[in-house]
C-alpha cells in the first residue's frame, strides 16, 4: 500500500500527533518542509510539517486522529 497524509500544520502539533499515534501502535513518517526549505536557502510557511501513516493503519489511527482534532 502507500502512505496517506493525516496532518499538515505546525511542527509542535505534528510532533504531538505523531507521539499519540505511535503510542497507539501506528508507525508514522514526518515530512518537515520547514527544515527542507531552510537547508535549500528558501523561506518556509507555518503549516509546513506533515504527518503520514500507512493506508492499512487508518482504521487503527482514525480514533486517535479524531480525538486529537477535537482537543485543538
Query: What is the per-residue pLDDT across 7-42, written as a single tens digit (0 to 9) for each?
Result: 999 889 999 999 999 999 999 999 987 665 555 566
pLDDT digits (tens, 9 = 90+) for 38-57: 555 665 555 589 999 999 99
48: which 3 cell numbers?
Answer: 509546513
Rounded (to 5) percent helix, strand, coil in the chain: 50, 25, 25
Q: What is the predicted pLDDT for the residue at 43?
A: 59
CA dihedral sign, ordered 45, 69, 16, 3: negative
Name residues whose C-beta falls within 8 Å of residue 27's C-beta, 6 or more positions apart in sequence.
53, 54, 57
The domain spans of the chain are 3-71
9: which 3 cell numbers?
Answer: 500544520
Architecture category of domain 3-71 in CATH:
2-Layer Sandwich (3.30)
pTM for this structure? 0.82
Q: What is the predicted pLDDT for the residue at 42?
A: 62
Query: What is the distance of C-alpha 53 from the center of its chain?
Result: 8
Amino acid at each position: 500500500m502507500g502512505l496517506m497524509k493525516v496532518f499538515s500544520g505546525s511542527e509542535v502539533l505534528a510532533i504531538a500527533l505523531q507521539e499519540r499515534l505511535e503510542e497507539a501502535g501506528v508507525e508514522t513518517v514526518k515530512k518537515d518542509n520547514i527544515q527542507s526549505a531552510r537547508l535549500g536557502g528558501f523561506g518556509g510557511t507555518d503549516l509546513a510539517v506533515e504527518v503520514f501513516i500507512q493506508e492499512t493503519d487508518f482504521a487503527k489511527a482514525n480514533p486517535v486522529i479524531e480525538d486529537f482534532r477535537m482537543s485543538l
